[in-house]
Structure 1
Amino acid sequence: MEQYFIYDHRLGIQIPDLKKEWEHYSYEEQQDILLKWEKIRGHIPDRIKELEAIINTKQAQLSSESNFLVSCQLNTEIAELASIINDLWLWYRANQGVSSKVHLS
């Protein structure tokens, strides 16, 4: 199953890495891929919560930081974490129809 997914270090999850068109996979392969994706997708909200906790910590640091350069660095880190969260939500929402395919089969 690992051949159908790659680990995205930035997002902290595995994402699909399909080498051919969906229709060229056997029915069994499609079902296996869909089930694996649903398991991964189910962990996305937890990953987002982890990142939000880090953001909250950095925002607390930022509120008491007097060094301008450190403040800029914290802002950059917060922005990157927010970008990761946005991308995770895109992956989560873009594949909402997958669960119906799994359960209808």
Structure 2
Amino acid sequence: MKECFAFDQRLGISIPDLKLDWDHYKKEVQHSILFNWEKIRGSIPDRIAELEEDINEKQALLSNESDFPRSCELNSEIAELASIINDLWIWFRANQTVSTKVHQ
């Protein structure tokens, strides 16, 4: 099943990486892919919580930072973490309808 997913370093999770059109997979393989995706999808809120902790730490550092270049760096890091969170929520929500197929 690992061949159907690729680890995304930026997001910190594996995401679907299907080599074939969905209908070209056997039903058993489709169910296995959906089952694995549901497990990965279920871990997304935990990954988001980790990133939110990182943001909170960086915001605390930023509130006490007097060096302007370092403040800019922290702001940039916070923005990147927020962007990752946004992308994770997109993956989480966009695949809700796909995940319901697991239960059918």
- TM-score, with normalisation over the residues of structure 1? 0.98
- Deviations for 1:8-61, whole angstroms, at most 9, x for unmatched residues? 000000000001110111000100000000000000000000000000000000
- TM-score, with normalisation over the residues of structure 2? 0.98
One-letter amino acid matched to 1:63: S
One-letter amino acid matched to 1:72: C
Counterpart Cα distance in 1 of 2:103 and 2:91:
20
Residue correspondence of structure 1 range 60-75 to structure 2 within 5 A: 60-75=60-75
Counterpart Cα distance in 1 of 2:96 and 2:6:
20
Q: What is the alpha-carbon root mean square deviation over aligned residues?
A: 0.5
Unaligned runs of 5+ in 1: none
SS in 1 for 2:42: helix
Between the aligned residues of both structures, percent identity stands at 67
CA drift of 1:99 comes to 2.6
Aligned length: 104
Counterpart Cα distance in 1 of 2:9 and 2:48:
14
Question: After TM superposition, where is structure 1 displaced by more than 4 Å over at least 4 residues in a row?
Answer: none
Counterpart Cα distance in 1 of 2:100 and 2:87:
22
CA drift of 1:97 comes to 1.0
SS in 2 for 1:20: coil
